[in-house]
Amino acid sequence: MKSKEREKLEEELKSLLKDKGLKTTRQRLIVLRVLAENRGKHLTAEEIYRETCGTLPGIGLATVYRTIQLLTQLELVDRINLDDGFVRYEIGDIEEKSEGHHRHHHLICINCGKIMPFEHDLLENLEQNVTDTTGFVIRDHEVKFYGYCAKCAKKLKLK
Protein backbone atom coordinates (compact mmCIF):
# COMPACT_ATOMS: atom_id res chain seq x y z
CA MET A 1 0.00 0.00 0.00
CA LYS A 2 1.41 3.39 -0.99
CA SER A 3 2.06 5.98 1.69
CA LYS A 4 -0.70 8.37 0.48
CA GLU A 5 -3.20 5.49 0.42
CA ARG A 6 -2.10 4.42 3.90
CA GLU A 7 -2.48 8.01 5.22
CA LYS A 8 -5.99 8.24 3.74
CA LEU A 9 -6.89 4.87 5.27
CA GLU A 10 -5.52 5.98 8.66
CA GLU A 11 -7.70 9.12 8.57
CA GLU A 12 -10.79 7.07 7.66
CA LEU A 13 -10.06 4.63 10.48
CA LYS A 14 -9.53 7.47 13.00
CA SER A 15 -12.84 8.96 11.93
CA LEU A 16 -14.53 5.57 12.32
CA LEU A 17 -13.23 5.24 15.88
CA LYS A 18 -14.21 8.82 16.73
CA ASP A 19 -17.74 8.27 15.36
CA LYS A 20 -18.11 5.35 17.78
CA GLY A 21 -16.90 7.49 20.70
CA LEU A 22 -13.59 5.66 21.06
CA LYS A 23 -10.14 7.05 21.71
CA THR A 24 -7.80 6.54 18.78
CA THR A 25 -5.11 4.25 20.17
CA ARG A 26 -2.23 2.82 18.18
CA GLN A 27 -3.43 -0.74 18.88
CA ARG A 28 -6.95 -0.06 17.59
CA LEU A 29 -5.64 1.67 14.49
CA ILE A 30 -3.20 -1.13 13.71
CA VAL A 31 -5.81 -3.89 14.13
CA LEU A 32 -8.27 -2.00 11.92
CA ARG A 33 -5.54 -1.28 9.35
CA VAL A 34 -4.48 -4.94 9.22
CA LEU A 35 -8.09 -5.96 8.58
CA ALA A 36 -8.61 -3.19 6.01
CA GLU A 37 -5.43 -4.12 4.15
CA ASN A 38 -6.45 -7.80 4.11
CA ARG A 39 -10.05 -7.47 2.92
CA GLY A 40 -11.55 -10.78 1.90
CA LYS A 41 -8.94 -12.87 3.75
CA HIS A 42 -11.04 -13.61 6.86
CA LEU A 43 -8.20 -13.47 9.38
CA THR A 44 -8.05 -15.26 12.73
CA ALA A 45 -7.00 -13.33 15.85
CA GLU A 46 -3.61 -15.05 15.71
CA GLU A 47 -3.10 -13.97 12.09
CA ILE A 48 -4.05 -10.40 13.01
CA TYR A 49 -1.56 -10.58 15.89
CA ARG A 50 1.26 -11.77 13.60
CA GLU A 51 0.52 -8.91 11.19
CA THR A 52 0.47 -6.30 13.97
CA CYS A 53 3.80 -7.44 15.43
CA GLY A 54 5.64 -6.08 12.39
CA THR A 55 4.28 -2.59 13.03
CA LEU A 56 4.06 -2.63 16.82
CA PRO A 57 6.53 -5.26 18.14
CA GLY A 58 5.53 -4.83 21.81
CA ILE A 59 1.84 -5.60 21.27
CA GLY A 60 0.58 -8.67 23.09
CA LEU A 61 -1.82 -11.33 21.86
CA ALA A 62 -4.20 -10.51 24.74
CA THR A 63 -4.27 -6.86 23.62
CA VAL A 64 -5.16 -7.93 20.09
CA TYR A 65 -7.97 -10.17 21.42
CA ARG A 66 -9.37 -7.35 23.61
CA THR A 67 -9.16 -4.87 20.74
CA ILE A 68 -10.92 -7.25 18.35
CA GLN A 69 -13.64 -7.93 20.93
CA LEU A 70 -14.25 -4.21 21.44
CA LEU A 71 -14.28 -3.45 17.71
CA THR A 72 -16.68 -6.36 17.15
CA GLN A 73 -19.06 -5.16 19.90
CA LEU A 74 -19.11 -1.73 18.27
CA GLU A 75 -19.86 -3.34 14.88
CA LEU A 76 -16.67 -2.01 13.30
CA VAL A 77 -15.42 -5.55 12.72
CA ASP A 78 -17.47 -8.62 11.79
CA ARG A 79 -16.93 -11.96 13.54
CA ILE A 80 -17.45 -14.89 11.19
CA ASN A 81 -17.60 -18.63 11.67
CA LEU A 82 -16.88 -20.47 8.42
CA ASP A 83 -17.24 -23.90 10.05
CA ASP A 84 -13.51 -24.63 9.84
CA GLY A 85 -12.83 -24.59 13.59
CA PHE A 86 -11.61 -20.98 13.66
CA VAL A 87 -13.28 -17.69 14.50
CA ARG A 88 -12.38 -15.19 11.81
CA TYR A 89 -12.69 -11.45 11.51
CA GLU A 90 -13.13 -8.95 8.71
CA ILE A 91 -13.82 -5.29 8.19
CA GLY A 92 -16.41 -4.30 5.62
CA ASP A 93 -16.50 -1.13 3.58
CA ILE A 94 -15.68 1.74 5.89
CA GLU A 95 -18.48 3.86 4.46
CA GLU A 96 -20.96 1.06 5.07
CA LYS A 97 -19.80 0.62 8.68
CA SER A 98 -20.81 4.16 9.49
CA GLU A 99 -24.22 3.69 7.89
CA GLY A 100 -24.92 0.30 9.53
CA HIS A 101 -25.32 -1.86 6.42
CA HIS A 102 -25.36 -5.65 6.53
CA ARG A 103 -22.20 -7.57 5.96
CA HIS A 104 -21.70 -9.57 2.82
CA HIS A 105 -22.45 -13.28 2.51
CA HIS A 106 -20.02 -16.10 1.82
CA LEU A 107 -19.79 -18.79 -0.83
CA ILE A 108 -17.76 -21.74 0.46
CA CYS A 109 -16.44 -24.43 -1.88
CA ILE A 110 -16.79 -27.85 -0.25
CA ASN A 111 -14.11 -29.26 -2.56
CA CYS A 112 -11.16 -26.83 -2.37
CA GLY A 113 -12.23 -24.70 0.62
CA LYS A 114 -12.14 -21.42 -1.30
CA ILE A 115 -14.22 -18.67 0.34
CA MET A 116 -15.73 -15.99 -1.86
CA PRO A 117 -17.74 -12.96 -0.77
CA PHE A 118 -21.20 -12.43 -2.26
CA GLU A 119 -22.10 -8.77 -2.00
CA HIS A 120 -25.80 -8.74 -2.93
CA ASP A 121 -28.19 -8.59 -0.01
CA LEU A 122 -31.26 -10.43 -1.20
CA LEU A 123 -32.92 -10.68 2.20
CA GLU A 124 -34.04 -7.08 2.75
CA ASN A 125 -37.65 -7.82 1.74
CA LEU A 126 -37.72 -10.90 3.97
CA GLU A 127 -36.36 -8.89 6.91
CA GLN A 128 -38.98 -6.19 6.43
CA ASN A 129 -41.69 -8.86 6.23
CA VAL A 130 -40.47 -10.41 9.50
CA THR A 131 -40.50 -6.99 11.19
CA ASP A 132 -43.95 -6.13 9.81
CA THR A 133 -45.54 -9.41 10.88
CA THR A 134 -43.79 -10.05 14.20
CA GLY A 135 -42.41 -6.72 15.38
CA PHE A 136 -38.95 -8.32 15.58
CA VAL A 137 -36.35 -5.77 14.45
CA ILE A 138 -33.45 -7.46 12.68
CA ARG A 139 -30.02 -5.85 13.12
CA ASP A 140 -27.96 -8.27 11.05
CA HIS A 141 -27.83 -11.69 9.49
CA GLU A 142 -25.23 -14.09 8.18
CA VAL A 143 -25.65 -16.35 5.18
CA LYS A 144 -23.24 -19.04 4.03
CA PHE A 145 -23.75 -21.00 0.82
CA TYR A 146 -21.95 -24.34 0.46
CA GLY A 147 -21.26 -25.77 -2.96
CA TYR A 148 -18.57 -25.84 -5.62
CA CYS A 149 -16.56 -22.92 -7.00
CA ALA A 150 -16.50 -22.55 -10.79
CA LYS A 151 -13.08 -24.23 -11.07
CA CYS A 152 -14.07 -27.27 -8.98
CA ALA A 153 -17.50 -27.56 -10.64
CA LYS A 154 -15.82 -27.65 -14.03
CA LYS A 155 -13.19 -30.18 -12.86
CA LEU A 156 -15.93 -32.38 -11.35
CA LYS A 157 -18.13 -31.86 -14.44
CA LEU A 158 -21.04 -30.51 -12.40
CA LYS A 159 -22.08 -27.79 -14.86
pLDDT tens-digit readout, 105-125: 889 899 998 888 887 777 888
Among 32, 30, 31, which residue's Cα sits nearest to residue 16?
A: 32
Domain hosting residue 154, numbered range: 103-159
Number of domain units in the chain: 2
pLDDT tens-digit readout, 17-31: 888 888 889 999 999
Average pLDDT over residues 55-61: 90
Question: What CATH number corresponds to the domain at position 118?
Answer: 3.30.1490.190
Helix (H) or strand (E) holding 7: helix 3-19
Same domain, 107 and 89: no
Average pLDDT over residues 1-13: 81
Question: What CATH number corresponds to the domain at position 57?
Answer: 1.10.10.10
Which pLDDT value is given to residue 98?
Answer: 44
Separation CA 151–CA 42 (nearest Å)? 21
Among 84, 98, 83, 80, which residue's Cα sits nearest to residue 39?
A: 80
Average pLDDT over residues 42-55: 93
pLDDT tens-digit readout, 63-119: 999 999 999 888 888 888 888 888 999 886 554 544 445 557 889 899 998 888 887
Which pLDDT value is given to residue 99?
Answer: 47
Among 121, 21, 29, 119, which residue's Cα sits nearest to residue 74?
A: 21
Domain end residue (candidates: 62, 83, 101): 101
Q: What is the β-pairing status of strands 43-44 and 144-147?
A: unpaired
Same domain, 67 and 120: no
Same domain, 112 and 159: yes
Same domain, 10 and 82: yes
pTM of this prediction? 0.72
Which pLDDT value is given to residue 153?
Answer: 94
